[in-house]
């Protein structure tokens, strides 16, 4: 009986020892799992940190690019405004250049008139300058003058300054031109100012 009890005690002690070993092994396994999980979590955090850094760098690049593009757009707008102002400011530059020669010729005619008393020569010079001026304005700029004396009165391009009854006409006619009219590329920019004759009333 005593032997059996000893055996039972030994067996029980061995069983307890085995259980303790298993518990220790299980605890070690749990610790390993926990350590592994922590390592995995740390690795994931590092990956996420890397992605956050990449995103922050991308955002910084995009912000910088957006600021540069906004500055370029503003500069482009400023250039356009400047070009528009210059276009308005110098719109008549070519016309003015064309008029410089006739202006110089007028100055020469004035100088000549001070030195010479030959009226015919002076008049010829002035007529030549006028012809040059009309030629430049017509050929380079599409400006034409018209003097409708003797023509039928047309209120679309004539302005009647006076009207009077006249013999021998059956409709309104231009009897006298007080001021020539001008057309720019066919459009009336100044109507001719005229005296109009109308048929006598019976």
**pLDDT value at residue 144:** 95
Looking at domain 147-202, its CATH class is mainly beta
| Residue 170 to residue 109: CA distance in whole angstroms | 46
| Residue 25 to residue 111: CA distance in whole angstroms | 125
Q: b/e per residue, 141-153, with b = 16+ CB within 10 A?
A: eebeeeebeeeeb
Phi, psi of 183 (to 5 degrees): -125, 140
Phi, psi of 201 (to 5 degrees): -80, 140
| Residue 54 to residue 61: CA distance in whole angstroms | 10
3 state DSSP class of 124: helix
pTM value is: 0.58
Q: What is the pLDDT of residues 58-85, one digit of tens each?
A: 999 999 999 999 999 999 999 999 999 9
Q: Residue 194 forms beta bridges with which residues? A: 160, 177
Tell me the mean pLDDT in the region 146-166.
94
Mean pLDDT check: name the lowest of 6-10, 50-54, 106-110.
Answer: 6-10
| Residue 20 to residue 164: CA distance in whole angstroms | 140
């Amino acid at each position: 009986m005593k032997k059996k009890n000893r055996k039972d005690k030994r067996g029980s002690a061995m069983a307890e020892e085995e259980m303790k070993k298993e518990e220790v092994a299980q605890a070690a396994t749990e610790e390993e799992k926990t350590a592994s999980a922590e390592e995995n979590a740390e690795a994931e955090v590092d990956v996420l940190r890397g992605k956050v850094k990449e995103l922050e760098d991308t955002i910084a690049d995009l912000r910088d690019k957006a600021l540069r593009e906004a500055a370029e757009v503003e500069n482009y707008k400023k250039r356009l405004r400047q070009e528009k102002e210059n276009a308005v400011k110098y719109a008549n530059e070519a016309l003015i250049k064309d008029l410089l020669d006739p202006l110089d010729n007028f100055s020469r005619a004035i100088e000549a008139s001070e030195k010479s008393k030959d009226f015919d020569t002076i008049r010829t010079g002035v007529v030549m300058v006028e012809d040059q001026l009309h030629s430049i304005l017509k050929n380079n700029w599409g400006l034409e003058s018209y003097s409708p004396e003797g023509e039928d009165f047309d209120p679309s391009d004539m302005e009647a300054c006076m009207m009077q009854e006249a013999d021998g006409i059956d409709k309104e006619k231009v009897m006298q031109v007080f001021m020539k009219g001008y057309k720019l590329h066919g459009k009336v920019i100044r109507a001719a100012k005229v005296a109009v004759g109308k048929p006598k009333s019976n």
